[in-house]
Amino acid sequence: MDVVAEAGIDVSDWSNYARGAKSPAANPAYCYSWTFAEPGRFVLLNLWYVELKEADGTIFQDMNYRELATQFERSKEKSAWGRRARQVDLALQLAWREKLPVKVVICDGQRRDIADPYSEASKVERRVLDNQLWAVTDYDWSTGAATVTRGASPEPYLDQFSVLPLSNETPVRTPRLVEVPGRSADVRRQALRRAKGCCQWCKEPGFCMPNGRVFLETHHVVPLSEGGTDTLANVVALCANHHREAHYGEKKSAMRERLLSYLDDA
């Protein structure tokens, strides 16, 4: 409760329950939550130290709380975990959509095995509010996969995987009989940054969205289905019209050759 208050969250309601006067920090409506939010201001996440990753001096964590929520909600023993995971997914969506900063509480101690509903409960032995802001640097609306990064700013560019679907319904994931190649969020981000908001075919700028971000679509020049790699050397950013032409147009072979030549020189 003290760390949540330190982050700037209003904790006055924590005492509003039967034992509130004596032990507000034990309010079950709040004390088990994995995330808190101040709409329009920031989102607060609790992250386990052991799950953080580091690459080239950048600290981040990949997560998919939508997938966890769906998994937990199928189990009677884990239904409470499902609700908490769903709250984290909604908080990530809020931060991504509104470009809100993310504050992080780093937790350390004994983490329970979430695959075992009967495992011993987690015991947080140390927690600290990070003095640096984080940001949601990627959110895939089709899957719920997200990345939060320490010291980062919200991404100024978006592609087709990073925008809210036209329907308000959460996409339903159905079983597939074939393997679907994964797409690296980091590769997509790098391709969008390299394009600097302009289609790499026609050089025209992508359109601006209401949140100020610039929209382009990421495209594998050699399709993954044909053995193309999911690397920066095979991904470009195109406007929606030329992305479709690169797939279905009569000049798609010529477009592929020219885009590959561009990538060779990049």
pLDDT of 173 > 50? The answer is no
| Multiple choice CATH, 185-265, 1.10.150, 1.10.760, 3.30.70, 1.10.30 | 1.10.30
pLDDT at 182: 64
Q: Which residues contact 130 (CB under 8 A, 6 or more apart)?
A: 103, 104, 105, 106, 150
Taking only the tens place, the pLDDT of each residue in 141-157 is 889 999 999 999 888 88
pLDDT of 181 > 60? The answer is no
* Per-domain boundaries in the chain: 32-154, 185-265
The pTM score is: 0.73
Crossing angle of the two packed helices 65-73 and 79-98, in degrees rounded to 10: 160
pLDDT at 117: 64
Q: Which residues contact 202 (CB under 8 A, 6 or more apart)?
A: 239, 242
pLDDT at 176: 42
DSSP 8-class letter at 205: B
pLDDT of 162 > 90? The answer is no
pLDDT of 114 > 80? The answer is no
